[in-house]
Structure 1
Amino acid sequence: MVFAARDTQAGIDDRDLHPMLQAWQRGGPVSPVPHPPPSLGEKAALGEALFHSRLLSHDGSIACASCHSPEAGGGDGRPHSVGVGGAVGEINAPSVLNAALGLAQFWDGRAATLEEQVAGPIHEPHEMGSSWEEVLARLAADPPLRARFDRIYPHEGISPATVADAISHYERSLVPVDADFDRYLRGDERAISATAREGFARFKAFGCASCHQGVGVGGNMYQRFGVMGDYFADRGGVTEADLGRYRVTGRDEDRHVFKVPSLRNVALTAPYFHDGSAATLDEAIRVMARYQLGREIGEDDRRLIAAFLESLTGRVAPRATR
């Protein structure tokens, strides 16, 4: 594909650029989110019902949405989530928003797909504390849900595979669109403030985009937490959850390595990091600069970068009628 642009004495006239080239020139390592299909579809609508159903937990006290609320940034606002019986988990719940853009699921990437991820929380004692046998029996005892499964999955009905398939279809719809920054990338000069534009420039200049890039502004690679400093020695109290990918691979080089999170909608997902240790966006930027970039970033720089990150907040489609 060839893009044509007009040369002027001032350089290239942005108004004449093809929208895709214009977005690339403005965003560099960051790409706009494509618009998803307007309709959830039957499988995704069923998955939405399951995602918000407490039938999946052992004591009927929590749903997937209890820890991953799409209306609240995809998380629960806690450093560590609370599961069945008041059990406190060992890690900060990652946002479900934009999970479909990631290379894998969970902080340590132990699930390769959204479908594979579904079984984890159901069986985790500190989360839903249930089993497939228990979950399938409860769903089968709900006539409206059973009828929906029979209609959508006529050859399988209710099974681990169909439950996971429906929920993953719904989760793939949770990619917020129309963020101010995306509208800016597509040519709307007024979509973001001069402060946010300068924040993006510094985000790139400092090297943040080396890990946070692409459509998800992250989520597509693994990185060690503490490239330029020993975060865990400074924080203290190292736990099993701090081992990251090491718990999946057993390789020493994967110790303290985690999936780089997507920064889309990050302004809504405090507290931050796998341990929930950063209460504010400003604190998270400071910690990242120190331990990942090896530098102290001043208050003004952090304010500008935060303005850019706030422009990454997109719109989640309203819940379907069930």
Structure 2
Amino acid sequence: MKKIVFILTLASLISCQNKEVKYEEINIVSKTPLMIEASDYFKPISMVSSDNIPDNFQELNNPVNITSVKFENRLNEKELLGQKLYYDKRLSKNGTISCNSCHNLDTYGVDNSSFSLGDTKEFGGRNSPSSIYAALHFKQFWDGRAKDVEEQAGMPILNPVEHGIPSQEFLVNRLRRIEEYQQFFKKVFPNDNQPITYSNLTNAIGAFERKLMPESRFDRWLDGDDDALDTNEKAGLQSFINNGCIACHSGVAIGGQMMQKFGVYGNYWEHTKSKKIDNGLHDITKNESDKFVFKAPSLRNIEKTYPYFHDGSVKDLSEAVKIMGKLQSNKDLSDTEVKNIVAFLKTLTAEVDPKFKKADL
């Protein structure tokens, strides 16, 4: 909802000899009550700044102009290198998988499998989360063991079940024998005596992943376009707020900002029918209080990133919403509430710019 107002502006300094006054047309957004309420919990992609995203988003050695994430669709040299590495299967021991294999940008940064198949043809132990918007999260992985997307990028490569690379040196030596990478790394890291390092590799992949910030309909609505959401979607947003979902799913990423117990009001596996009980963060800390604690995921693109939860145990979004209502808020959501919340969640769907999805680099 917008209205036009006319504001008098001084086009030149006022002097005794000359005064020039002209009208300037300015669009001002008139926000609805729901928009005002929602702005307390959510921020659109256009508002991404150092004030509302994690500090590690703007690392000193990996700068990115975060104020232009929404508008800048070109990739700089470092991001292009990261894109090439993201799609390169030579980053796995047997050359069978790339980052894109489990975090497929054609399918919203996931592979839609409960568990992903690695280079050894074994399955990983947790569901692969989306790489889209990942840089907005305060930590990476379900158990938060990586501080940012750069650190995260290096871990699956060395995981024996995932990429299967035996050591950093193994991969670095492999890439140093490739003339194309010799030239590419030198261009991106011209001040390094030896540009092809494991740190520079993960740095470049992270730079590319930080560009994966597409705009959704909900972003347009938050920016003031009230017609971007229909009546049912707005009702779903109101239910989402009223039922306490915003406790874990808010901010720019609509989640990804805290560790939380899965099953505050019950055992999660009794509702998800999980085949295995995963202790979550407890596996790292060994603290009893960390049992069944996982990172609260971002809900952006949730419509497309099934199956859900850390073990991919639930495929239907409506069922996942019901389970979350019961386990996390102790509420039995009505069919109408579930239907409307799902309608709202679908407004979070956003396509990555096609030029970021080119595999033939």
Same fold (TM over 0.5): yes
1:142 matched residue in structure 2: 178
Q: Residue 289 of structure 2 aligns to which amino acid in structure 1? A: E
Of 40-49 and 27-36, the range deviating more from structure 2: 27-36
Distance 1:32 1:228 in 2: 31
Equivalent runs, 1:123-272 vs 2, <5 Å: 123-130=158-165, 131-154=167-190, 155=192, 156-177=194-215, 179-232=216-269, 235=273, 237-239=275-277, 242-272=278-308
Q: Residue 268 of structure 2 aligns to which amino acid in structure 1? A: Y
1:6 matched residue in structure 2: none
Structure 1 residues 42 and 16, CA gap change in structure 2 (3 angstroms)? closer
Of 186-195 and 218-227, the range deviating more from structure 2: 186-195
Shift of 1:236: 5.9
Q: Is the CA contact (8 Å cut-off) linking 1:22 and 1:186 kept in structure 2? A: no
What is the aligned-residue RMSD (CA, Å)? 2.0
2:95 matched residue in structure 1: 60
Shift of 1:233: 5.2
In structure 1, stretches of 5+ residues that fail to align are 1-14
Shift of 1:84: 1.0
**In the alignment, does 2:351 pair up with 1:315?**
yes
Shift of 1:318: 2.3
> What secondary structure does 1:319 align onto?
helix
Shift of 1:49: 0.3
Of 137-146 and 105-114, the range deviating more from structure 2: 137-146
**Identical residues among aligned pairs (%):** 37
Higher relative contact order (CA 8 A, sep 6+): 1
Structure 1 residues 60 and 262, CA gap change in structure 2 (3 angstroms)? same
Bigger radius of gyration among the two: 2
**In the alignment, does 2:43 pair up with 1:27?**
no
The structure 2 residue matched to 1:304, chosen from 340, 348, 353, is: 340
Q: Residue 210 of structure 1 aligns to which amino acid in structure 2? A: A
Q: Show CA shifts across 1:89-120 (max 9, x none).
A: 11100111110010000000000121111221
Structure 1 residues 192 and 233, CA gap change in structure 2 (3 angstroms)? closer
Q: Show CA shifts across 1:202-245 (max 9, x none).
A: 00011111110001110011100000111135646444xx1111
Shift of 1:24: 4.6
Q: Show CA shifts across 1:29-75 (max 9, x none).
A: 11111250332211111000000000100100000000001221111
> What secondary structure does 1:223 align onto?
strand
Q: Residue 70 of structure 1 aligns to which amino acid in structure 2? A: L
In structure 2, stretches of 5+ residues that fail to align are 1-26, 47-67
Shift of 1:250: 2.1
Q: Is the CA contact (8 Å cut-off) linking 1:22 and 1:185 kept in structure 2? A: no
**In the alignment, does 2:330 pair up with 1:294?**
yes
Shift of 1:312: 0.7
